[in-house]
Amino acid sequence: MGSERLLAGRKKIGLALGGGSARGFAHIGVLKVLEEAGISPEIVAGSSMGAVVGALYSAGVPLPVLERLAAYSRRSLWTDWTFPRMGFLAGDRLEQLLLLLTRRKTFQELNRCFAAVACDLCSGQRVVLRDGVVARAVRASAAIPGVFRPVEDEDKVLVDGSVVERVPAPTARALGADMVIAVDVGLYLTNQKPQHLLDVISQSLDVLQRDLCRYTLVEADIIIRPQLAEIAPGHFHRAAEAIRAGEEAARKELPHIREILCGKEHHAQVT
């Protein structure tokens, strides 16, 4: 493990955590395996659920605590129904939960460089959030269109970062990462029928992002793809399964990660 820590120190490692609602719990499993291997990313970029997990990790919340939180997660913790002018959920309860878990930290107070990716509906542009209170930025990054009310920031109306960069590998690279490990928790365009509103919206976004995602993943050196086809975006009760899938996928990619850290050439396969 000590030699791996030394090798990891030679390259600035960036981690790009993608969106995927409940499937995003797989990020916890990936982080567990990387931590066990002594691989500690200096840069973390997240979209949507990837921003949630990435922010808590960067704020110093221990992975065992994250795993327990995921196991006992219930929609009642973050759902606050509102009159659906711009979203069925206000998002205030989610923000309060994030404030509590991150201890109201700003980006400058985090343990590592972290960025949350959002989309500005007014300009249609990607917005990389790196200033101010972390919880507010993550709330914007996780604002699934039609589900959560957008976050208004001066002249911007911010929604889920997955709209423009579902797996934020380009953002991690732009922040200075020499090596980018991307975690893609899924585009599963199967015959699975949506069960409720979150599934309908999430699966619709998956269809829209099918081709866009290929371009963002070009910036990744390693792509970790947990197998989550059986877990729908709204299956928050299956967090433990998603975490295990993340662990399994990360372990498969460890040899490739070590190759790059040792200076050997490796090309991620984008499909």
**Encoded amino acid at 24, one letter:** G
Counts of helices then strands in the chain (DSSP H, E): 11, 10
DSSP string, 166-182: SS-HHHHHHTT-SEEEE
Confidence of residue 2 (pLDDT cuts 50, 70, 90): very low
Give the tens place of pLDDT for each residue, 42-86. 999 999 999 999 999 999 999 999 999 888 765 555 554 554 555
Catalytic residues: 48, 160
- The CA-based angle 169-175-181, given to 5 degrees, is 35
pLDDT of 265 above 80: no
pLDDT band for position 266 (cuts 50, 70, 90) = low
Q: Is residue 216's pLDDT more than 60?
A: yes
pLDDT for position 50: 97
Q: What is the pLDDT of residue 201?
A: 73
pLDDT at 8 over 70: no
Q: Give one word for 39, left, alpha or beta, with left for phi > 0 and alpha for psi -120 to 50.
A: beta
Torsion of CA 203, 57, 36, 171, to 10 degrees: 60
pLDDT in tens, 141-192: 999 887 888 999 889 999 999 999 999 999 999 999 999 999 999 777 666 6
What is the identity of the amino acid at 146?
G
**CA–CA dist 7, 11 (Å, integer):** 7
Q: Write the pLDDT tens digit of every residue in 15-29.
A: 999 998 889 999 999
Question: Would you state the torsion angle of the CA atoms of residues 144, 145, 146, 147, taken in this order, to the nearest 10 degrees?
Answer: 10
| 139, amino acid identity | R
d(CA 68, CA 120): 33
The pTM (predicted TM-score) of the whole model is 0.87
pLDDT at 73: 66
Q: Which pLDDT does position 20 carry in this prediction?
A: 87
Residue 53 one-letter amino acid? V
